Chain A
Amino acid sequence: MKKYILYSFAVLLIFSCKKEEIKNDASEEFPGGATTYNNIFSGSFEQPSSNLNTAELLQHNTGDAHFSANFVTSPAIRNQGLGPIFNHISCVVCHPKNGKSPQPFSGDDLKGLLFRISVPGTDIHGGPANAPGFGTQLQNKANVGKQAEASVQISFTETSFAFEDGTNYSLRKPSYTLMNPYISLPSNILVSPRLGQQVIGLGLLEAINERDLLAHEDISDANGDGISGKANKVWNPVSNKIEVGRFGWKAGNPTLLLQAAGALNQDIGVTSHIFPSENSFGQTQYDGLNDEPEVDSQQLSDLAFYTQTLAVPKRRDFNNDDVLSGKQLFFKIGCDKCHTQKYITGTGATPSVSNQTIYPYTDLLLHDMGPELADNRPDFLASGTEWRTPPLWGIGLTPLVNGHSNLLHDGRARNILEAIMWHGGEAENQKIKVTKLSKKEREQLVRFVGSL
């Protein structure tokens, strides 16, 4: 009899404390290592890394002011240099509360969405070839008296699908038409919609050792798992070298300094020592003011520093049973093959991001995501169907921070589950596995992703 009791106890223990079955490292609660900010609230993406010293905090705050400043038409007392053609007048418009804006419904208000453009072929560094008269990005706004390059019309198609349990779901596919160009558009123009991304934890991603990224490459799929990660190799005009790309939807930028300089130049029309030419140079909108650079190198590096030192928020419910079950599914399905869980960073731009154990859930590599998601516009080594794996940290906080849950490169997915179901190409097998899950398992998977 005693034996029975003991066995029963053992069984009861297993059932009653399920948590013990799935392992969690305590450090997983702090995805950004020592940079992690402990409070979850609507401002969670706007917090300085928790491990900055006083001088670093001061520089972070200076960069913060630049990030939220509105640029105005030159000449002006300060923040001059807007345009003559641009997408928006400040960084925060496209990165509201350092998060992201929703998929726009109409071309009248594109919110955080912009369009990269090019024509087939490459430039001298292997990057996208300029669309003659338009460059590599469409500026849909202009200063008073100047003409925007074009406007955009958006329409949507809804398509219904079903999970194996019979539950229906629907995906919303946007299509974009360029309208009213200031001169004729090239007939072979390639157009790639890009939504501004959340800004958290970028300094940590920059600090991941290059060899750790390249270790995940499997360009010819030697291991036969259907997944062939590839690092983008892009031109860095500062080092005058081809380097591994890490930032942007197609990993087109190697560093945050370049990302900041590029966004100022292309999105706002502000020149710097890195990009001293107006985005309208050679076009009829060019202002000819010869006031370059419109931000000095200190302002630019403060801005980059700000993006390097934003905290990652702590995870919610990381020990919850459903979250843990979802975590098990995530790994079983193989989502982690691209959404790489963990790194220990190397030496980054600041001590705060160096040698940190982080959980970004990305390999920062390019993957073929299938024809449905394709923009069909190559970008250095990224083909027209390839996208960079985006990090998943903070993904569940967008409803709290930005009041919506839109995801993917143009915000077409209305929630995490739709984003999963958009996966194709190399992730086709993983998507099929998700269609076979029960309703409860789907919810657990989504809860896990939302807890990151």
Chain B
Amino acid sequence: MTKYLCFLSFAAMFLFAGCKKEEVTSYSPVINNVTDNIIVATYTDLDAKAQLLVDAANALKADPSSATNLSAARNAWAATRAPWESSEGFLFGPVSTLEIDPNMDTWPLDSIGVDDILAGTDVINKAYIDALSGDAGTGLKGFHAIEYILWGSDGNRAAGTFSARELDYLVACAESLKGKTAELKEAWAASGGNYANELKSRGSIYPTEKAVLVELAEGVRGIAGEVFSSKIQNTLDGLDLSGVSGGIREEESRFSNNTKTDFTNNIISIQNVYLGTYGSTGNGKGLSAIVAAENAALDTKIKTQITEAIAAIQAIGGNANVTFSTALSADRASIEAAQLKVETLETTLRTELLTLISNL
């Protein structure tokens, strides 16, 4: 009898095991690296750069006739813009649910509204800019309001031409932006909202590691889609005020001629998540590590298409000195060529990367 019981217990164990799913590989090294060393690192960098932008704006306000100060403020803007644009491959979580994105980066800018405020008598400070929230208010602040002041609508504002109210507006927008970058960093930090933990441990938001990987893969697919089908397409579709083909009004970051850099950084955000590195941080465990193990040819294909998309964006207009705005009328073929490279990448991410991740 005892023997039989033993046998039954064994049989039972086998049966239980048989109903369980096959043991799967843990993807936590990739998830932890992308979360801490890419996403959190990008937001930390963004917040640090935003503080430098506030400092530079204050320096310009203190001595607005200094060309050095103007140039430093412009550089600080571009330095802050870079981590922001390279965060667009992961626009999920607090950046979206806390409505941080529209408060930092609404385009087109409502420049007529900004001019109205500058011409008025409202006291301009951080609280005033913060209160321009939701709805129409977001078009009056953020990166592009700062850009509009620093470069002017024609892109070549000179030092010494700023009114006191413009300088107030510049500093207030920079401070408001810094408030948002701090909120975003805090929302992910272990000491704050700890959204990083939602990705790194299993809860109701992401019940499985695969759910996190799907979010990451959809994130990079999403920004590739936005760059080719919206950001670039809108400039090609639109007609500007005088009916000239090429929608300069639609061209994001055109005051500073940072457009090509913006788009490049968008693709770099894909690269960062894919390769598992952010500048010198990150241990190289990104989506690539998973893809390479399953389908080495696809891994190579994605890496190549990322590189080609970046190269094609940088080649818009033929060389680095030709702006996107100029290329819109002078060399549309180069814009369309870049668009096609990004579209090709998006197709691969959508049809092949996502299929692979969904079937893990």
> Contact: B92 with A43, CB < 8 Å?
yes
- Given A39-B358, A400-B205, verify A89-B135 contact (CB < 8 Å): yes
> Contact: A12 with B8, CB < 8 Å?
yes
Q: How far is A38 from B222 in the complex, measured between Cα atoms in Å?
A: 15
> Contact: B205 with A399, CB < 8 Å?
yes
> Contact: A5 with B15, CB < 8 Å?
no
Residues of A within 8 A of B93 (CB): 42, 403
Q: Mark A49-70, 1 if CB is under 8 A from B, else 0.
A: 0000000000001000000001
Q: How far is A16 from B15 in the complex, measured between Cα atoms in Å?
A: 7
> Contact: B19 with A403, CB < 8 Å?
no
Q: How far is A172 from B122 in the complex, measured between Cα atoms in Å?
A: 39
Residues of A within 8 A of B11 (CB): 9, 12
Residues of B within 8 A of A404 (CB): 97
Residues of B within 8 A of A17 (CB): 15, 19
> Contact: A43 with B218, CB < 8 Å?
yes
Of A13, A89, A400, A403, which one neighbours B15 at CB under 8 angstroms?
A13
> Contact: B8 with A70, CB < 8 Å?
no
Q: How many residues of A contact B (CB 8 A)?
A: 35
Q: Is B321 an interface residue (CB 8 A)?
A: no
- Flag the segment in B43-51, B60-68, B207-215, B277-285 that touches A: B207-215
A19 nearest CB neighbor, chain B only: B19
Q: Is A93 an interface residue (CB 8 A)?
A: yes
Q: How far is A8 from B133 in the complex, measured between Cα atoms in Å?
A: 67
Interface centre among A13, A16, A399, by most B CB within 10 Å? A16
Q: How far is A97 from B94 in the complex, measured between Cα atoms in Å?
A: 13
Within 8 A of A (CB), among B205-237: 205-207, 211, 214-215, 218-219, 222, 229
Q: Is B351 an interface residue (CB 8 A)?
A: no
A111 nearest CB neighbor, chain B only: B134
Q: Is A88 an interface residue (CB 8 A)?
A: yes
A156 to chain B, nearest CB (A): 22
Of A1, A4, A40, which one neighbours B211 at CB under 8 angstroms?
A40
Within 8 A of B (CB), among A368-422: 399-400, 402-404
Q: Mark A143-177, 1 if CB is under 8 A from B, else 0.
A: 00000000000000000000000000000000000
Within 8 A of A (CB), among B97-113: 97-99, 110
27 pairs of residues in contact across A and B, judged by CB atoms under 8 Å: A8-B8, A9-B8, A9-B11, A12-B11, A13-B15, A16-B18, A16-B19, A17-B15, A38-B358, A41-B92, A41-B219, A42-B92, A42-B215, A42-B218, A43-B218, A70-B135, A70-B136, A77-B241, A88-B135, A93-B134, A316-B207, A317-B207, A400-B206, A402-B97, A403-B97, A404-B97, A450-B204
Which B positions have Cβ atoms within 8 angstroms of A?
A: 4, 7-8, 11-12, 15-16, 18-19, 92-94, 96-99, 110, 133-136, 139, 204-207, 211, 214-215, 218-219, 222, 229, 241, 354, 358
